[in-house]
Amino acid sequence: MIITDKKNSIVEEIIELKKKRNAILLAHNYQIPEIQDIADVLGDSLALARAALNTEADVIVFCGVHFMAETAAILNPEKTILLPDLEAGCSLADSITVDQLRKWKREHPEAVVVSYVNTSAEVKAESDYCCTSSNAVAIVNSIPEKKEVLFLPDLFLGEFVKKETGRENMYIWQGECHVHAGIRPGQVAEVFTNHNDADLLIHPECGCSTSSMYLKAEGILPQEKTHILSTGQMLDYSNKSNAEQFIVATEVGIIHQMEKQNPNKQFIAANPEAVCPFMKMITLEKVLMSLKNNTHIITVPKKIARKAKHAIDRMVSIG
């Protein structure tokens, strides 16, 4: 009871400070349940980027990881962007540096660079397009077929996009999200064996995504039950589907929202240990302190922001 009272008190104080400061709370689907429950906007990277672009709030409290707050800062240079914990990083974003990208571009001087949103502002500034898992295929399809494409940094998403688009002149950076990469084909197969009436919802960043596409094409995984989707698309699908069970192959944080929106359906994690420690760093206490003390303000140098915004604008407008 004491813990609940303390939590309620913190939530009430956050709500009061949001009103006082004309602030909005944006949260990713992988955040802890307490953060998801108080978010003004909850979604995947694309939905949150669009929300950041369209908000009339003066202050954006970003409950996600560092690159997401940077994206909001690029889209809203006149607003205050707060990240409650500076240590909330991303192993995938760290898998490529701007110097590595510049070297890669020199090896393919005519190529179009498509960067997953899970990258630093500096990498975005060297890119022609940004994308998310929900619109990566649409963005690559929008590029003239004769143009080489450099896709970075996620190898599993890249392989998925290459297969979906049929594009042979697409080169893929060999980076990965350590959490999604840890969801292996054998785990999905084992869970499906025990729940063979369930629909399979697989994030394209997962280590099982490429093999699942192959198994689906071969008929080993049922065509009508196997779906490769972004986190936002997973939520939409589970809300609309008549299925009663779902195997979820992504970071487990999304299951909270799935269960909340569909209390009569069952959601089973393909790998219950698929937990991103960075996504779990932000707490109610840190959000409160962030609103009270402006911790931590995220800014991007103007020159980098101006170049990166061009790629992000394309991401927001497509798909």
Binding-site residues from annotation for [4Fe-4S] cluster: 90, 177, 276
| Residue located via tokens 């959601």 | 267
Which DSSP helix (H) or strand (E) runs through 200?
strand 199-202
Residue pair 151/123 in contact (Cβ under 8 Å)? The answer is: no
Q: Which residues pair with 23 in a beta bridge?
A: 59
Q: Is 221 helix (H, G, I), strand (E, B) or coil?
A: coil
Q: Is 196 helix (H, G, I), strand (E, B) or coil?
A: coil
Residue pair 275/179 in contact (Cβ under 8 Å)? The answer is: yes
How far, CA to CA in Å, does 78 sit from each of 22, 46, 55, 290? Answer: 14, 21, 12, 18
Binding site residues, as ranges? Answer: 28, 45, 90, 116-118, 133, 177, 203-205, 231, 276
Q: Which residues pair with 75 in a beta bridge?
A: none
Question: DSSP of 71-97, one letter per residue?
Answer: HHHHH-TTSEEE-S-TT---TTGGG--
CA distance 99 to 89: 19
Tokens matching residue 221 = 């995984």
Binding site residues for iminosuccinate, as ranges? Answer: 28, 45, 116-118, 133, 203-205, 231
Amino acid at 259: E
From the list 276, 266, 197, 261, the residue with the least C-alpha distance to 28 is 276
Which DSSP helix (H) or strand (E) runs through 213?
helix 209-217
For residue 223, the 8-state DSSP code is T
